[in-house]
Amino acid sequence: MYEDKLKDECGVVGVYSKNRKEISRLTYYGLISLQHRGQESAGIAVKDNGEIRYYKEMGLVKEVFNEEILNSLEGEISIGHVRYSTTGESFVTNAQPLVVHYKGGKIALAHNGNLVNATKIRDDLEDQGSIFQTSIDSEVIANLIARNYKYGIKDSLIKSFEMLKGSFALVIIYNDKLVGARDPNGIRPLSIGKLNGDYILSSETCNFDIVGAEFVRDVEPGEIVIIDDNGIESIKYKEAKKALCSFEYVYFARPDSNIDGVNVYKARVNAGKILAKESFVEADMVAAVPDSGVPAAIGFAQASGIPYDIALIKNKYMGRTFITPDQESRELAVRLKLNVACENIKGKRIILIDDSIVRGTTSKRIINMLRKAGAKEVHFRISSPPVKHSCYFGIDTPSKKNLIGAMMTTEEICKEIGADSLAYISIEGLIESIGMGKENLCAACFNGNYPMEVPKMGHKFVFEKR
């Protein structure tokens, strides 16, 4: 399709409500607000007086749930999950939350991130006789907790999480507690909010604004929070170098979220401003590839003094699925979603801003469309550095040969996509735009400096491929 973007894998939300007031709706609205983090499947699990009920299905949040289902999901603690649509292994079996019976009762678990040692742990568990019914990391985590349960809630969590390598933001219903946890590097975000005495955990803070909750704080890297009637208990189970995913600011997170104290929209506008300084060019207008390029384009326009204008019109009624033209006219597929505002660009020199280039195919088609429609020049500016390396921590990166940034120089890419000029923001520029110091960010997809050892061939489908 016309989107040529890296994909996050999941969003999670959790609610602890003493007074049980509309817990499933709070969770539902949370998932609606996190829908951009995953459109493959959605699920909610609720603890209601010692019983855990759940519902999960393939589809968007609004498609999966209806009034009847939500009404059947009332209780004191709930967790929710959205998962992104990959090809191949999109089965409802792999939807989350995962709900399991274990010696001490029931656990429900939802996970955003990716473990790099899941196969190893799974092998060990299978050596001890465990069986697995899904291909998701969550089942591995649930098994660990179940095996450690005898040590009590806290220690079972600590012992289990100490074994995990990789990224995880977790929300768990564990007996009568709501548990939140973040990996020691804090690669994936997780925040705490409060609404009328109820606690909410969410991958992003936009959720809190929307439901009217107050932001309390972020869960810290290597922290477990255990929430019950007595409030929040915090356990710092492991220290490590922080390595928050910088791509959350580039593309994944919603602009109305703050992640670890930094507003996403502002970071994007900043990136546009820095980009204007780093690679200014004379032009008649600054335009964005909608919607994700808009904030950086606004920043670029502000910093450069070149007016912000519109070059591409989105068809807002297109979803992900419609009958596509056949191969020879892929450009038509792009135009059905994104048409050129012809009259507005004729004879103009355009600075076109996008947040990233992954494969480059859509960029090429868009630039071609602009030219055909009469654009005099198209200068392409990208508010992230070239993506050159695979992510092992929850982002679905294509294989290297499909990653144009890994295969070509900027000059070659410029020629390939047919732009008059092409510039990416520098890694330093991106880090400056976020403003939290490079020591706190993971920029491995740009520079290959992974925060931990990564497998040679590991990827998320490793379990299916055995």
Q: Which residues are catalytic?
A: 10
Whole-number Å distance between alpha carbons of 399 and 453: 19
Closer to a second copy by CB, 240 or 332: give it. 332
| Secondary structure (3-state) at 56 | strand
Whole-number Å distance between alpha carbons of 247 and 384: 8
Beta partners for 77? 16, 47
Helix 264-278 and helix 294-304, axial crossing angle in degrees, nearest 10: 50
Identity of the amino acid at 119: T
* Ranges of H-type helices in 250-382: 264-278, 294-304, 330-337, 342-345, 361-372
Closer to a second copy by CB, 101 or 236: give it. 101
Tokens of 425: 């923001």
Tokens of 206: 């936009």
Identity of the amino acid at 259: I
Q: Minimum Å distance from CB 451 to a second copy?
A: 27
Closer to a second copy by CB, 87 or 128: give it. 128
Q: Minimum Å distance from CB 376 to a second copy?
A: 18
Closer to a second copy by CB, 344 or 440: give it. 344
Q: Minimum Å distance from CB 100 to a second copy?
A: 4
Tokens of 162: 């100490």
Q: Minimum Å distance from CB 75 to a second copy?
A: 16
Phi and psi at 5, nearest 5°, equal -125, 155
Closer to a second copy by CB, 77 or 211: give it. 211
Closer to a second copy by CB, 252 or 308: give it. 308
> Contact at 8 Å (CB) between 194 and 207?
no
Residue 422: in which H helix or E strand, if any? strand 421-424
Q: Is 170 exposed, middle or buried (0-12, 13-18, 19+ CB in 10 A)?
A: buried
> Contact at 8 Å (CB) between 73 and 46?
yes
Whole-number Å distance between alpha carbons of 409 and 72: 55
Q: Minimum Å distance from CB 4 to a second copy?
A: 16
Closer to a second copy by CB, 255 or 398: give it. 255
| Secondary structure (3-state) at 365 | helix
Whole-number Å distance between alpha carbons of 91 and 58: 7
DSSP code at position 213? P
Closer to a second copy by CB, 241 or 320: give it. 320
> Contact at 8 Å (CB) between 352 and 288?
yes
Cα dist from 74 to 24, 55, 70, 98, 164, whole Å: 6, 12, 7, 18, 32
